[in-house]
Structure 1
């Protein structure tokens, strides 16, 4: 079990090194739009480029993340949530999204 946590910890650490410009990639687009975006491993075509998938999402997905939600949080930027289970957008959208927006 520790090995799985090591991969997940590494994936989270790698996230700290990514810098995004407004409008660039999924994260930058979410920041500009003020909305949210779902990323699922089996739909890696929802990234604009293979390099974005490789550079941004691959380490998280390799660590076992099955669902990623990127949500804009007003002028603060974005927050990224992940789950080791497949979560349907309906389940999170009504609960989590409203709570995040209230902060």
Structure 2
């Protein structure tokens, strides 16, 4: 039996300082070998913005905790693949800038 890999993704809404939406992107944290459960919490590296791109904030070793919103399985692949979707987050341009790391 083949082991299953799970992608960990999160929808990020990027807003300006006036709380106006700029765009929504899906950010991929990577893959894990074990499943989470809906309602569980994933501890992930802190993220920020580098211009309009969502990036890891490597200035510190801080982490964030996000609830698992849902799980998706792709039955068309062999082995079956899965996606762990975390609750959406918002980053504000100017407030969450990581600079030129």
**RCO comparison, higher one (Cα < 8 Å, 6+):** 2
Higher strand share: 2
Instruction: Confirm or deny a common fold (TM above 0.5).
Output: no
TM-score (norm 1): 0.28
TM-score (norm 2): 0.28
